[in-house]
Amino acid sequence: MKNILSLDYFTELIDKALKGGEINPRAMEQTNILNAEYVLGKFWAILEIMSEIYSIETIESIREKYRGTTDELMRRVDSSY
Compute mean pLDDT per 10 residues along the chain, 81 residues long, and list them.
86 96 95 96 97 95 97 94 80
CA angle 37, 35, 70 (to 5 degrees): 50
Whole-number pLDDT of residue 41: 97
Whole-number pLDDT of residue 39: 97
Whole-number pLDDT of residue 2: 75
8 Å CB contact between 32 and 23: yes
Please give, one letter per residue, the 3-state secondary structure of 3-31. CCCCHHHHHHHHHHHHHCCCCCCCCCHHH
CA-CA distance, 66 to 60, in Å (whole number)? 10
Whole-number pLDDT of residue 48: 96
Whole-number pLDDT of residue 77: 95
Model-level pTM?
A: 0.90
